[in-house]
Amino acid sequence: MIAIESTQYFGSDRTSHPLRVLCEFLFGPFADYRWDAIHRLIRKCGHFFGYGMIALLWLRAWRMTLADATLFKDALLGLLGTAIVATFDEWHQVYLPNRSGSPRDVLLDCAGATTILLIAYLYLRIAKPAPQAQTE
């Protein structure tokens, strides 16, 4: 998914019109200055939640791979994997004509990853406590 979204075809100059048509269909027309802010927000939310989901996939992969690791260690490895993917994604975008690489986007990606991993961590620790051993 990242390989597709990181192409020149998903630059802000190419996503603005289709997203605007969809949003104006749902919510009515927007002034240009307002649309620019909304479009930016949509794109940044995409970073936040998209990389949050990638972190969740990393967490699942590490939990299934490392039998002796703790949940905390798996989450840290998930965050590290997400940070590496985000960094290389932004570095790749520097070489595209209508894209740019931004350290701020890497930080936003890592913030999304941290948030989703924290939610998953809390869910797995609180909502799904470890089963108790049965005594006879």
Domain boundaries, the chain: 2-127
pLDDT in tens, 2-58: 878 777 777 888 889 999 999 999 999 999 999 999 999 999 999 899 999 999 999
109, 51 contact by CB (below 8 A): yes
Give the pTM. Answer: 0.82
pLDDT in tens, 110-130: 999 999 999 999 998 887 665
Enumerate long-range contacts of 64-69, CB under 8 Å, 24 or more apart.
Answer: none
pLDDT in tens, 3-13: 787 777 778 88
